[in-house]
Amino acid sequence: MIIRLLNNNENPPMDLLLLADPSVDNVEEYLKRGECYVAEMNHQIVGVYVLLATRPKTMEVVNVAVAENYQGKGIGKLLVMHAVNTAKEKGFKTIEIGTGNSSISQLALYQKCGFRITGIDRDYFIRHYDIEIFENGIQCRDMIRLSQEL
């Protein structure tokens, strides 16, 4: 498997990006400002993440997704660690990531990758999304914010 920056002439893998964020408007907006990286296996895109400079010396991973039939194979962890290393190589000092309160496996993954919970944006998903989001039988309401010093 290789992880690489999406080429300018390639379309972003919207089907994957929408697995992590159901808002087409949100995804299109941060794709314009960020860098999209893809994981390829046998010439097929199986994972994606978007890295965005948010403040001086701070980057945020704003989307991480793995194709459903490739989940549970460690690809998500490779993508997150690639994002951490990319931010570090670019000279950033902090990397952040956020996920929903209902995203149990993502919360575990990010902590295994060295992120620590720094805050909760209460009712974020209620304020910013027109649809109700449910995962693991839990309504996604709050954004759990995590960060890591590089």
Average pLDDT estimate for 17-30: 94
Q: Going by DSSP bridges, is the β-strand pair 138-139/134-135 parallel, antiparallel, or unpaired? A: antiparallel
Q: What is the pLDDT of residue 75?
A: 97
- Which residues lie closer than 8 Å to 85 by C-beta, 6 or more apart? none
Q: What does pTM read for this prediction?
A: 0.94
Neighbours of 25 (CB within 10 A): 8
What residue ranges do the domains of the chain occupy?
2-149
Q: Residue 121: which pLDDT band, with cuts at 50, 70 and 90? A: very high
Q: Residue 3: which pLDDT band, with cuts at 50, 70 and 90? A: very high
**Per-residue pLDDT tens digits for 81-119:** 999 999 999 999 999 999 999 999 999 999 999 999 999
In CATH, which superfamily holds the domain spanning 2-149?
A: Gcn5-related N-acetyltransferase (GNAT) (3.40.630.30)
Whether 31 and 21 have beta carbons less than 8 Å apart is answered as no
Work out the percent of the chain whose per-residue pLDDT is above 90: 98
